């Protein structure tokens, strides 16, 4: 989906959830969409400052947190950054595949696979939190 259609779908998604994709939140989402792969908050802040002038870090962090809460972005803790969620219409847990060579990021729905892990954890009397797994390796293009 191209950026324009993604932003339109994101606005509709937020409306259905009873929240608003404000101009600032939309601009932050648009800035994240411009980056391929994982983008760090400080890069979004720098991009926002180029476009708006002065912008404070808490402004960007609040917008990014909102976008994560709405399922539009995923926080990739292992890389200290964010990626765009390609299928935000559903509640899901993801596996994020990151190419070590080119940095390409791919999101894969792993709800079914995690069910087995939840069963194992439950047998050990342990309750898992929602998971977004990140795995690194080589994409098809870089393996060739």
Residues 6+ apart with CB under 8 A from 17: 70
90 marked as part of a ligand binding site: no
102 marked as part of a ligand binding site: yes
Residues 6+ apart with CB under 8 A from 39: 31, 32, 81, 82, 83
3-state secondary structure of 43: helix
As annotated, the binding site includes: 99, 102, 139, 142
As annotated, the binding site for Zn(2+) includes: 99, 102, 139, 142
């Amino acid at each position: 989906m191209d950026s324009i259609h993604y932003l339109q779908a994101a606005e509709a998604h937020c409306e259905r959830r009873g929240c608003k994709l404000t101009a600032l939140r939309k601009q932050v989402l648009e800035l994240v969409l411009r980056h391929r792969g994982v983008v760090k908050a400080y890069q979004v802040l720098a991009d926002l400052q180029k476009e708006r002038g002065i912008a404070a870090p808490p402004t960007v962090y609040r917008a990014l947190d909102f976008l994560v809460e709405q399922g539009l972005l995923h926080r990739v803790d292992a890389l200290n950054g964010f990626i765009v969620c390609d299928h935000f219409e559903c509640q899901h847990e993801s596996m994020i595949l990151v190419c070590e060579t080119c940095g390409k990021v791919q999101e894969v729905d792993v709800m079914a696979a995690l069910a087995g892990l939840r069963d194992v954890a439950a047998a050990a009397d342990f309750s898992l939190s929602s998971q977004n797994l990140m795995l690194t390796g080589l994409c098809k293009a870089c393996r060739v």
